[in-house]
Amino acid sequence: MGHHLAGDETKARMEVAKDSCIGRRYLSQLEDIRTHDIFNCLVTVRYIHKLAISCHCSGCQSIMTGGVCSYVGCRWRQGTQVNLKAWCTVEDGSAQALIFINDDCCRRWLKFPASIWKVLEEQVLPHQGEFLYVGSKTHPNASVAFRILSSYCDAAVHLRRPLHIMTRKFGNNEVNTWTTAYYLKEHPSKRLFCLLVEEMDPTSCAIELSALGLTYKENAAETELM
């Protein structure tokens, strides 16, 4: 029941966000956009800096380790939840920015195959609690899950597909909560928080990207994934 309530609250917040959206903007205009303005962009992911997959107790939100809640005083035994977070550089043909993509938005962007989820859940949920992918730096002793995720993120062309996003800048009170050290090196106007990810019609994308001098070959992405 708690998950349904959370889902309803999220939908309500998204409706409010859509109503207050100021419309389409380009990343080159970020310095002129106010901190709490919500706007739309058509972007592609240029680089994945960090991807975090973690398993949390659905009662107290603490990390699960070894199949149990890491918080000593917690007695919750009614399930867990998997959280996804990604920090990426995106571009739109006019400029680049760093963006934080969270949970549902991250799932929609990643489109993990069932086989990938199976391995990650077997590695993350019962054992590590949290699993990190940082760039393409594969260590000699990396786990099977890390090797699979690294290969997927480095090779999957569809992760660089055009995305229609609704976003806003980070608020000053969010910087310590959601960001990492390298994220803070970027100018505050170039730090974004993703609110919604939507797929774009390939034809519309091709027309708009062509006008910006960019290209995206959908067939090449499909071939890469086969």
Q: Which of 154, 157, 158, 155 is nearest to 137 (CA)?
A: 154
13 domain-assigned: no
Longest dimension (CA), the chain: 58
Under 8 Å between Cβ of 200 and 65: no
pTM: 0.77
CATH label of the domain that carries residue 151: 2.40.50.140
Cα 120–Cα 110–Cα 170 angle in degrees, nearest 5? 110
Domain containing 47 equals: 23-225
In a domain, 198, yes or no: yes
C-alpha closest to that of 149 among 160, 162, 158, 138: 138
Q: Is residue 156 part of a domain?
A: yes
Query: H-helix or E-strand containing 197?
Result: strand 191-199
Answer yes or no: is 120 within a domain: yes
Evaluate the CA torsion angle 24, 27, 33, 36 in order and state its sign: positive
Split into its structural domains, the chain has a count of 1
Q: Tell me whether residue 3 is in a domain.
A: no
Does 2 fall in a domain? no
Task: Please report whether residue 202 resides in a domain.
Answer: yes
> pLDDT tens per residue, the chain (226 residues)?
444 445 565 666 667 777 889 999 999 999 999 888 999 999 999 988 888 888 888 888 888 877 788 888 888 777 778 888 899 999 998 999 999 998 899 999 998 888 888 877 777 776 777 788 887 665 666 777 777 778 888 877 888 888 999 999 886 666 555 555 556 667 777 889 999 998 876 666 566 656 655 554 444 333 233 3
Tokens coding 177: 């909560």
Kindly write down the DSSP assignment for every residue of 9-33, as one continuous string. HHHHHHHHHHHH---B--GGGGGGS
Is residue 97 one of the residues assigned to a domain?
A: yes
